[in-house]
A and B are shown apart, each in its own frame.
Chain A
Amino acid sequence: MAAETEARSMPALLERVFPTIVVVTILIVAMQIGSHYLPPYVMPPPLTILEATIEILTSQYHHIGITALRLLIATVFSVFVGVAMGIVMGMFGKIQPYLRSLVVIDTGVPALSWMLLALFWFSTPELRIFFILSVILVPFYALSIYDAIRALPGDWVDMIETFRPRRSQILRYLILPHIVPPILTTTKSVIGYAIRMAVFAELVASAVGIGSRMSLAQSLFRIDQVLGWTVVLVIANVFLQAAVNVLEKFLLKWRAEVNVR
């Protein structure tokens, strides 16, 4: 039975991965052809990029670790603060207009403005990067959770109200389980954006981390390393998405999978 399931799931996995393999192959071939006609400081051959990537992964992995840690801390903080703000907006009607205005203003401020302000306001690089990532990520969670609470089915609220629960019990038994899917969906949506912002923040605010290394590679005209770091970032994004998918499968095992024909 297990072997049969495995036999069925392997082609399914291949079916999902196959388009990515095709696109990557096309890109590599295009880069190889381009490298024949363009100077190496514009388009190095894929093999040189691969060597740069391997060098990065074997000798500069601590920069990857630092960026990942910064990203993890800021994302976890943003999840907690954003979810709390969303819950307060969803459950306390009187506070909602004020918090919502704050969130809307925050989303209107360009990321670049936050980066420049962080340089003025904070002296340590870690604080700057944490601040930049947090102010950018928190509104995504706050708005998504607020919308999820507003969309909470009235039938469920009426049902739970018949037991005369305390407000904390409504939060525990109804709202918190209900907002798990939007938290995961928001995380999947912002991962790529968060990586880009983390690297960008490191570019302007830190001497360590992927962003600072990319800046260094650019100033040394090492385009192979710039592309190598780019490959590392793409791989990191794919891995993070996969990690959230695994978490989603575990946390949302109660949800029926629907296939639309």
Chain B
Amino acid sequence: MTNKPIILLENVTKSYGTFVVAQDLNMEVRQGEIVALLGKTGAGKSTILNMIMGTQPATSGKVRVIGHDPHAEFAELRGKLAVSFQTDRLLPWRTAVENVELGLLILGMPKNEARERALIWLTRVRLEGVADMYVHELSGGMRQRVSLARALCVNPELVLLDESFSQLDHVTSHTLRVDFANVVREFNKTCLFVTHRIDDALEMADRVIVLAPGAGIALEFAINAENRKDSDWLGQMHERIAEVMGGEED
């Protein structure tokens, strides 16, 4: 982990008419960090993610991703950012491997090279045997793995996850989270993941940020390897987060 900020939000406010989703939000995600963004429904998690993705501008304040304004300089982040969503969003007419290589082809990589790299990533997410299967032939967990492989395959500096594990059963979700965190740490990626599951955040993140609706950050703390082994500490943090979220969790 370095001190280089990959995501920087300074005094960011986002409102829709008179409805304020986020006010004077200050947030930073440094290179190599895995940060969890938690908050109850309407706290503005997805809005913040959309501003970071560049699909929505901030009403006021400064948003920078890898040094660029993601909305005004949309094309500058080509190949530097990848997103995995709550639903897999795989294209049904493409096979598993064709879905994984999609981002690479868009970035202009030659077909053969893209296929080779996509196959490597399918192996990394433990899907060796399903490369030529169509989306409807895959289980929910497999599809989400393909979706993660598609995001990581383009070798992005920043990976954004929008509730990517929340639609899976707890066992599949846990396995996938562990695999994902290992890959992200192994390749020194930066990751911001939005979730409403406190356990997901405590298990994966180096730092947890909890949002309060319309009011910015309500709770923020770091987690190290020792904390993660300390069940009392984890229990206390779980309670504190649940308190801020008003008991809104799966």
Q: Check B91–A177 contact: CB distance below 8 A.
A: yes
How many angstroms from the CA of A63 to the CA of B135 in the assembled complex?
Answer: 46
Q: Check B89–A159 contact: CB distance below 8 A.
A: yes
Q: In the complex, which residues of chain A have a beta carbon less than 8 angstroms from the beta carbon of B154? A: 163
Q: Check A256–B136 contact: CB distance below 8 A.
A: yes
Given contacts A254-B92, A255-B92, A256-B136, whether A165 and B87 have CB atoms under 8 Å apart is no
Given contacts A163-B102, A164-B78, A174-B91, whether A155 and B136 have CB atoms under 8 Å apart is no
Q: Check B105–A155 contact: CB distance below 8 A.
A: no
**Residue in A159, A160, A177, A180 with the greatest tally of chain B CB atoms within 10 Å:** A159
Contact count band on B: 20 to 34
Asked if A156 CB lies within 8 Å of chain B CBs, one says yes
Contact count band on A: 20 to 34
Given contacts A162-B81, A164-B78, whether A155 and B87 have CB atoms under 8 Å apart is yes
Q: Check A177–B85 contact: CB distance below 8 A.
A: no
Which residues in window 135-178 of B have CB below 8 A to A? 135-136, 154
Encode A128-172 as 1/0 by CB contact (under 8 A) with B: 000000000000000000000000000110111111110001000
Encode A231-261 as 1/0 by CB contact (under 8 A) with B: 0000000000000000000000111100000
Distance in angstroms from A29 CB to nearest chain B CB is 45
Distance in angstroms from B73 CB to nearest chain A CB is 10
Q: Check B93–A164 contact: CB distance below 8 A.
A: no
Distance in angstroms from A156 CB to nearest chain B CB is 6
Consensus secondary structure, chain A interface: helix
Asked if A173 CB lies within 8 Å of chain B CBs, one says yes
Q: Check B74–A159 contact: CB distance below 8 A.
A: no
Contact with B55, one of A155, A158, A165, A178 (Cβ below 8 angstroms): A158
Distance in angstroms from B163 CB to nearest chain A CB is 13
Q: In the complex, which residues of chain B have a beta carbon less than 8 angstroms from the beta carbon of A173? A: 91, 102, 105-106
Asked if B103 CB lies within 8 Å of chain A CBs, one says yes
Contact with B83, one of A162, A177, A254 (Cβ below 8 angstroms): A162
Given contacts A164-B75, A173-B105, A255-B92, whether A159 and B83 have CB atoms under 8 Å apart is yes
Q: Check B85–A160 contact: CB distance below 8 A.
A: no
Encode B5-20 as 1/0 by CB contact (under 8 A) with A: 0000000000000000
Excluding A156-B89, A169-B106, A254-B92, 13 further A-B contacts by CB distance (< 8 Å) are A155-B87, A158-B85, A159-B83, A160-B102, A162-B53, A162-B82, A164-B74, A164-B77, A173-B106, A177-B94, A254-B95, A254-B135, A255-B93
Using CB atoms and an 8 Å cutoff, list the residues of chain B in contact with chain A.
Answer: 53, 55, 74-75, 77-79, 81-83, 85, 87, 89, 91-95, 102-103, 105-107, 134-136, 154
Q: What are 5 residue pairs bridging A and B, where the CB atoms are less than 8 Å apart in the complex? A: A156-B89, A158-B55, A163-B78, A163-B106, A177-B94
